[in-house]
Amino acid sequence: MWRLALFVGVFYLATLRAGHGWGDDFAQYIQHADNIVAGVPYAQTGYVYNPHNPAVGPRAYPPGFPVLLAPVVKLFGLDFRPMKVLIVLCFVGVLLLVPHVFRRDLTPPYVAALVLLLGLNPFMWQFKDQVLSDVPFLLFILLAIYGFQCERAALAGLATYAAIATRVLGIVLLPCFVAHHLIQRRRVSRATVVACGIALALAAGQYVLGGQEGSYLDTLVVSAGTLGRNIVDYLRALSDIWDDGYTSIARKAVFLLTLGFTAYGYGRAVRSGPSVLEIFPVLYLMPIVLWPAYQGTRFLIPLLPFYLYYCLRGVSALAQRFGARSRAPRLACVAIIALVYSAKYSTLRFGPMTEGVGTAKSAALFEFVKTSTAAGDVFIFSKPRALALFTGRRAAAPSLEAERCELWRFMQQIGATYVVTGPTSVRDDATVGYLAEFVERFPLSLQQVMGNDEVAVYRIVGDPCRGSGLGLVA
């Protein structure tokens, strides 16, 4: 199986793309890593947190991923390629763990199929070019479960802590371990107590040292509407891993087919006695579907190996049930998935990214801000963390209230001096459209000082919401 993982790793490394997308979570992770290297306060990123728009990102991220990034930043600076190599190595680690974690009730051919289904999935191939914590988080999740399965308490505890330090949701591993033993043995084993104790002690130490940040909870407003909307949205997001790039019909058909196999395989596993493999997806999904800030397919990455594993378990169980007659349907499933993957790859770009922070137009923005504005200036921008990383300026995202004077009050509060509109290539970001409308509404209070067809910079020259309303366009 290691050869398959190595093959996927070589394929990923050979097809790394230059540049990086505009989604600016990556920028805050990199800035945290740079702070660790430089020995400056961890949360001093230049990102000005807006409590009225917490979905953009918290004041600080957990330190797990930045600690991984820190040696890369120290050696190579702000170079995306070595950072992406780190992500690929973490993914190869995931693929190496998959045969050990998911070996139960699958024969070697099915285990090999699981490695290839996950490793060659076009969504995961695209995701390799994102400097984000999702793949390292999955690695630590699987490593913790592997340590738990082997009753290696120290490994399970350390990996569980690493998962928590990378993403707070890693804490669901603790009740998973306890529930497994209560269901299987009616008591919690000594190894599990030790593992949980190690993880909790390290997490508590991190909290005491200030390595955890509480603004995640600012977005937690649970409602029935959120639950229903997220269930629908995340089902749609999960189906995206079967996108063929041409038609939604194939995506929906393959998703429903695999979902049926997954439900059958999961049901058989539960009937034989739920283990940590059956418990983890449920406990992980609960906070995801309750969280108001929808994050798309990336939040489902920790579930993809489980989803594909139970799908293959369902296929295997049905094959055993129907014997030799099942060979043709199995071959048909392989052909369909191979066709979907091939079709999607035929639509993907393998060269440098044509949009994002690495383009000439983005570079022009960063250069203008660094050379034509003062070090103390504060910016309002839809991608504040990217702007802060590449320019060294402080930046905040706008609040999205219908009443535009609320944004003016926030800008006054933080001492904002410039507003940046765009990037126009990001079409699904409500903040981009909001700021475009904002500058159109207040033409006398915002003076354009730089611009291209991707971004524009406006100097704030008045406050239309103070006094007579100068600059306001009704």
Nearest to 310 by CA among 265, 270, 258, 278: 265
The span from the CA of 304 to the CA of 238, in Å, is 8
User: What pLDDT does 469 receive?
Assistant: 44
User: What pLDDT does 350 receive?
Assistant: 92
User: What pLDDT does 219 receive?
Assistant: 52
User: What pLDDT does 223 receive?
Assistant: 59
Write the secondary structure of the chain as one string of H (helix), E (strand) and C (coil).
CHHHHHHHHHHHHHCCCCCCCCCCHHHHHHHHHHHHHHCCCCCCCCECCCCCCHHHCCCCCCCHHHHHHHHHHHHHCCCHHHHHHHHHHHHHHHHHHHHHHCCCCCCHHHHHHHHHHHHCCHHHHHHCCCCCCHHHHHHHHHHHHHHHHCCCHHHHHHHHHHHHHHCHHHHHHHHHHHHHHHHHCCCCCHHHHHHHHHHHHHHHHHHHCCCCCHHHHHHCCCCHHHHHHHHHHHHHHHHHHHCCCCCHHHHHHHHHHHHHHHHHHHHHHHHCCCCHHHHHHHHHHHHHHHCCCCCHHHHHHHHHHHHHHHHHHHHHHHHHHHHHHHHHHHHHHHHHHHHHHHHHHHHCCCCCCCCCCCCHHHHHHHHHHHHHCCCCCEEECCCHHHHHHHHCCEEECCCCCCCHHHHHHHHHHHCCCEEEECCCCCCCCHHHHHHHHHHHHCCCCEEEEEECCCCEEEEECCCCCCCCCCCCCC
pLDDT > 70? residue 305: yes
Dihedral (CA of 173, 178, 182, 185) sign: positive
In one letter, which amino acid is 369? V
pLDDT digit string, tens, across residues 184-237: 888 888 999 999 999 999 999 988 877 555 555 555 555 567 788 888 999 999
Structure tokens at 318: 């049905």
Average pLDDT over residues 333-346: 89
The span from the CA of 18 to the CA of 80, in Å, is 8
Beta bridge partners of 419: 380, 458
User: What pLDDT does 222 receive?
Assistant: 56
Confidence of residue 471 (pLDDT cuts 50, 70, 90): very low
pLDDT > 80? residue 175: yes
Cβ-proximal residues to 287 (8 Å cutoff; 6+ apart), any chain: 169, 172
Cβ-proximal residues to 28 (8 Å cutoff; 6+ apart), any chain: 45, 47, 57, 60, 61, 385, 389
Average pLDDT over residues 228-254: 90
Q: How far is CA 112 from the centre of its chain?
A: 26
Confidence of residue 324 (pLDDT cuts 50, 70, 90): low
User: What pLDDT does 472 receive?
Assistant: 44
User: What pLDDT does 163 receive?
Assistant: 97
Average pLDDT along the chain: 90
Confidence of residue 113 (pLDDT cuts 50, 70, 90): very high
pLDDT > 60? residue 470: no
Question: In the chain, what percentage of residues exceed pLDDT 90?
Answer: 69
- The tally of CA atoms less than 13 A away on the side-chain side of residue 344 is 21
Residues 260/263/267/270 CA torsion (nearest 10 deg):
160
The span from the CA of 186 to the CA of 358, in Å, is 55
Question: In the chain, what percentage of residues exceed pLDDT 70?
Answer: 93
Average pLDDT over residues 455-461: 95
Q: Are 73 and 31 in contact (CB under 8 A)?
A: no
Structure tokens at 191: 């190894």
Q: How far is CA 473 from the centre of its chain?
A: 39
Average pLDDT over residues 78-86: 96
List Cα–Cα distances, 164 to 12, 202, 206, 285, 342, in angstroms: 27, 10, 10, 16, 36
Q: Which residue has the tokens 């043709």?
A: 328
pLDDT digit string, tens, across residues 3-51: 999 999 999 999 999 999 998 899 999 999 999 999 999 999 999 999 8
In one letter, which amino acid is 87? I
The span from the CA of 430 to the CA of 138, in Å, is 29
